[in-house]
Chains A and B, each alone.
Chain A
Amino acid sequence: MVDKKAYLFACVRNAALNDSKLRDRNAPLDPDSAWFSPPDRDYAGEQNLRRALEALPSDQRQVMVLHIWGELTFSQISDLLDLSSNTVASRYRYALAKLRDSMFAKENSCANS
């Protein structure tokens, strides 16, 4: 017979320990540090791209980064992420559209202001 109260305490304790371990493992990135070397010293474009990538859902960002900068095919990405090729292609299409909208919307808003 398991003591319910003790069991509950053990659950909460383990969850708190796991959380603290995770926090120690993940160091926050410096928000101002560049991710890319921009063409023609287009630093504003680099910042724009970074912000747009940050705004993407992580599953779409993964596929985008692996395909564009990792130069992996959809088939290779599907093997890597254990997804179907169709899912990978669909995520990529969504990500590309969102990225373009986000970047051009930002550029337009910058131009207007």
Chain B
Amino acid sequence: MNDQKKIRLEKIDDYRWRIPRTGKMQVEGLIYADERLLREIREDESTKQVANVAHLPGILKYSLAMPDIHWGYGFPIGGVAAFDWQEGVISPGGVGYDINCGTRLISTNLSVQDLKGKIKDLVNALYQNIPSGVGSKGALRLSVHELRQVLKDGSAWAVGNGYGWPEDLERTEDRGCMEGANPEVISDRAVDRGRPQLGTLGSGNHFLEVGFVDEIYNPQVARVFGLRKDQVTVLLHSGSRGLGYQVCDDFLKKMGERVRQSGLELPDRQLACDYIRSATGQDYFSGMACAANYAWANRQMLMHWTREVFERFLQMGPKELGMHLVYDLCHNIAKREWHMVDGERREVCVHRKGATRAFPAGHPAVPEAYRDVGQPVLIPGDMGRYSFVLVGTEQALDETFGSTCHGAGRVQSRTQAKKASKGRALHRELEDRGIFVMAASRGTLVEEAPEAYKDVSQVVEVVHQAGISRKVARLRPWGVIKG
């Protein structure tokens, strides 16, 4: 789109850039990036989207963007925006289609040595037992009544039905259950899409990855998280499947109609939104909470089967294996939280679309086990390089409503990645680097090739240097299942 005006950016420091207020912007924009990342960011329209979000009623402080920002629908991916609960809006486009898409990290008592020569067979066993791929359906056949329980209770439903341990709930953001979930507002369509898919990984960038800790940056915090060098870990990335997509779609339509009726002026149709206190706003919040709970139950079940496979494969008991949940978090969500705004404690709705919560030590929402150090932040990279574990900070709470980045972000489109991998044996290339991958289709594998993504370490370096989260450990992939 060449007719778009370039958005003016002012450098604040090496890691912060301001978009000054112009026109009807309610607040400034604030982008976290270094010069190198900013050059890539400026190639698409995401900076304009940061400015667009700043137009929405009730937005507080800044329209924020993390260093992994890229072009989304309406809101940029990697965007954070908080709205006054009483006077502000809520927007399905500020959350995204995959509601509560998120990551989960599991530790083990195993060291790299224990799995030497076994990784292929282990990944095979995981692949056989974890449903993945396009439109994958789970082994479960839930009744509508059971699904409603899942939507209300989230991870607690899963644990209550034998998928996991009670301690898992304490180490899940919001204990794996968002309050306010009301299945009444969910369409039959969303229910139909969601029922057969609970307990499935999905496809695209969703994955299950056996890896290991290859670098510790902060030994004290790593110890509290239960992480040590050479330890085998499992990282999981999945969301609310068709149910979440449908909830988003249903409410984009409803809010689009509301915008038309109310005459609310929006710079982009995709910013469709409504006041949080309105009936539609409340319904969306309740529906989104249902989808969030579905996603938590989903990841909880995927983790449970992963534990079972490890136990069978290694002939070890759960105690001996020690597969504890380190943390589970969402990176597509709108949350009801309290934050200090201009010296005043305010109830706000924080939209994190491709952004992660990063609360500091002492915050009551941080699990007790981690309260002295801060909330774990999980940042997955591509399947060929590494992922990161960070910890939340006070500065994040001050500056970004307690938020940080969420991942690497693509540099190549899917088609570019496909072209670049033509005639290449990507499996073999990865195996030569010591990474064994199983994918439901070659299509997914090549689209997800490592070089299709930014180097996640660049993204992490920015949030670390800016102080909105701190590096704790780095994980290397070893065996990967791609949907």
**A and B, one complex?**
no
